[in-house]
Amino acid sequence: MADKKSVLKIIAAASGIGAPDQRCALGPEAVMAALGRQGEVVVPPLSGGRQALQSFVATLATVTAALLETEQRIAILSGDHSCAIGSWRGVSRAVDGSLGLIWLDAHMDAHTPESSPSGYWHGMPVAALLGQGALGNGGAVIRPENLCLLGVRSYEAPEAELLQRLGVRVISMDEVNRLGLAAAMAEALTIARAGTVGYGLSIDLDGLDPADAPGVGSPVVGGIRVAELLPVLADLVLDAQFRALEVAEFNPINDVEQQTLQLVLQMLDLISGAAYESNH
């Protein structure tokens, strides 16, 4: 386990084609530039329809699976959250068994192309990963009982209905506020670990409070505070079953004094196994 920090492999998935503001495609590169290193960068299609997205996520799944097969843990810097359709398919392939997933997000991301009023793919990855709708036609990569949403405070009825019908646990932001993040995360971990061989955490930065992470495309007031999140992440690092961290929806154009960039760097540092210092 020595020298973990130097060996953390990072995939930069620079796609923004699933969001109305496509500039979160710039997020992964901004982070890699700040780190002063090259990642296993996956070049996205510049534009295109559902075929382009499906081709991109297939490539991302292949790259992710190949990398995780030789690594204990990886990080994926995603542009908009539709990248998750590919990244978690890849993680699932590499762990070779049931995968658990904790989805920290202001939104449910559980629309299908059939139910979404806007049609934006970044609102659909959860449904796709559950094998639902036209984007999920590659099959489910996660069982509903091993998926837990955390911090949700903005959603539409068809999403809530789908998740309820499938039995997915959604820990709303109201519940997080009531329980505290540590207790909410403990429940999420129980779900993600139950009968699985590994699990991951997908962080949509809009799940955090905009005061802590202003550099996002779809901010929603009243989110998870960084001061609570970082100690939780520091605990996850100790768990060998924790295989991948995804950070999505960083929009550097909307950032304020590099606050969000610094936060992403801090999260990567924690995941690299660096000592956690309470400086918030």
Which residues contribute to the site for Mn ion (CB under 5 A)?
Answer: 81, 105, 109, 204
What is the closest distance, in whole angstroms, from the C-beta atom of residue 205 to Mn ion in the complex?
9
Which listed residue (107, 159, 255, 269) is catalytic?
107
Catalytic annotation present for 204: yes
Output the smallest distance, CB 1 to Mn ion, in A: 32
Nearer to Mn ion by Cβ, of 216 and 273: the residue is 216
Q: Is the CB of 110 or the CB of 273 nearer to Mn ion?
A: 110
Nearer to Mn ion by C-beta: 109 or 228? Answer: 109
- Nearest CB to Mn ion, comparing residues 250 and 273: 250
> Which of 159, 206, 209, 255 is flagged as catalytic?
206
Selected catalytic residue, list 80, 249, 255, 269: 249
Residue 114: CB minimum distance to Mn ion, A: 19
Distance of CA 248 to the CA centre of its chain: 5
Catalytically annotated residue among 109, 159, 228, 269: 109
3 catalytic per annotation: no
Does 81 qualify as catalytic in the annotation?
Answer: yes
**Active site annotation includes 122:** yes
Q: How far apart are CB 181 and Mn ion at their closest, in Å?
A: 18
**Integer Cα distance of 52 and 86 in angstroms:** 13
Q: Which residues are catalytic?
A: 81, 105, 107, 109, 122, 204, 206, 249
